[in-house]
Structure 1
Amino acid sequence: MDILSISANNQEKAAIKPIAGKILLGVTGGLAIGLTAIFAPFVSPALRKFCLPYIPATNEQIKNILNGLKGRTGTVLDLGSGDGRIVLHAAKNKFISHGVELNPWLVAYSKFDAFRKGLSDKTKFYRKDLWKYDISKYDNVVIFGVEQMMGDLEKKILKECKSDCKIIACRFPLPNMVPSTVIGHGIDTVWVYDCKKS
């Protein structure tokens, strides 16, 4: 092999390295952007005043919520509806059910699951901030909150809810309102409140 062949061969190898580096950089950057887009809606709640993590309702909690709604009719709103399971169970029990959730992936999943189960006509899911969503038109409101937010949530309920609205708080009670019923125990406990306004 002569010097010219070796030199040409080395130049070809040198030309391939920058192209491979650019491809690797593009793939890595694309993966980083993709992962950020997927995980940002799950991480961003931690940056808010109240961190409301996505924790799916257990079967026992759903049973307790439906027990708290026994004898009720009309509309149900699930504030922070997550994957929509409470909304779907309420719809199966003849309620017009809506869910409010900030995470776009969970809203999309909820809509798909409602469609798949034939409940799209009885359910609606909104990608909204629960603090900015008007709850005044609902007959029943369900909330899975964290302890730190229940005081502010109670103020919103007292300000906006109808006088005959039924409130069901899961995992943590409202701090000042007195429940009409407490159902279950431990993490599955639900507190049922009658929103009576003077």
Structure 2
Amino acid sequence: MDGGGGTRPATLEEGRPTECVPPASLEANSLKKSSWGVLLTGIVGGTLVAVYAVATPFITPALRRICLPFVPATTKQIENVVKMLQGRRGPLVDVGSGDGRIVIAAAKEGFTAVGYELNPWLVWYSRYRAQREGVQASARFYISDLWKVTFSQYSNVVIFGVPQMMAQLEKKLERELGDDARVIACRFPFPHWTPAQVTGEGIDTVWAYDVRSFRGGDGRPRSHFPSVIPIQ
């Protein structure tokens, strides 16, 4: 006789695990979160690849033994360069032209100006700027290593150099430039040449060198370096 007066409730079998089936809404939320995770991973990965692709040409020149890292010219530096070009004629070259500011400024002053730059992104940007400023006919830019370019056809050379390369660049320019050429150095002077003019101060200092001043009377380079290296 059942003293409980009612039906005994059903119980789970001992030792049998329970099974829970998530509602459809929970499954949908889980899939949605997974999709967002994949999308976010793709965006982050794509951004890193893009940054690497853009930044690598900027960084790799700085890892070379002798380099020209990109540092934009200041407004005052450009003014000082233009001042050193007053009364000058003939084609101009900017060695390591960066974003093209010097070349474009020279083109606006009436020069046929060329920029050589190793970084392709900067060359493309410089071409865009020249077109936007309306001087694309007289301001041209090329992707090239300065050590592989001959500068004999230029009467005016502008260089934003670094101390480690100035002595070697002296030798190259002495060999290649004509007697009427002028070399304008920004930020760092050449170690052996005596400047014809100096203007500005601090990082805006600009040195102008006339080739005839460091050439001998026979027109040959008055070199500060031995022409023959003795064999040890």
Give the shorter-chain TM-score range: 0.7 to 0.9
Q: Percent identity?
A: 48
The change in CA–CA distance for 1:164 and 1:12 in structure 2 (over 3 A counts) is: same
Partner of 2:173: 157
The alignment yields a C-alpha RMSD, in angstroms, of 2.4
How far apart, CA to CA, are the structure 2 residues paired with 1:157 and 1:110?
Answer: 25
Does the alignment pair 1:120 with 2:150?
no
Gaps in structure 1 of 5+ consecutive residues:
none
**CA apart distance, 1:150:** 0.6
**CA apart distance, 1:104:** 1.8
How far apart, CA to CA, are the structure 2 residues paired with 1:92 and 1:119?
Answer: 7
Structure 1 segment 15-164 matched on structure 2, within 5 A: 21-164=37-180
How far apart, CA to CA, are the structure 2 residues paired with 1:187 and 1:169?
Answer: 11
What letter is aligned with 2:43?
A: V
What letter is aligned with 2:164?
A: Q
Partner of 2:15: none
Partner of 2:201: 185
Measured against aligned partners, the alpha-carbon deviations of 1:79-130 in whole angstroms (never above 9, x if no partner) come to 1111111111111111000111122222111111110111001110111111
Flag the structure with higher strand content: 1
Q: Secondary structure at the match of 2:72?
A: coil
Measured against aligned partners, the alpha-carbon deviations of 1:138-197 in whole angstroms (never above 9, x if no partner) come to 110000111111111111111222222111111111111221112222211111111234
How far apart, CA to CA, are the structure 2 residues paired with 1:58 and 1:9?
Answer: 60
TM-score between both structures, scaled by the size of structure 2: 0.76
4+ residue segments displaced more than 3 Å: 3-25
Flag the structure with higher helix content: 1
How far apart, CA to CA, are the structure 1 residues paired with 2:22 and 2:105?
Answer: 73
Partner of 1:169: 185
How many pairs were matched up?
197
Structure scoring higher RCO (CA < 8 A, sep ≥ 6) equals 1
How far apart, CA to CA, are the structure 1 residues paired with 2:163 and 2:135?
Answer: 32
Q: Secondary structure at the match of 1:6?
A: coil
Gaps in structure 2 of 5+ consecutive residues:
1-18, 213-218, 221-232
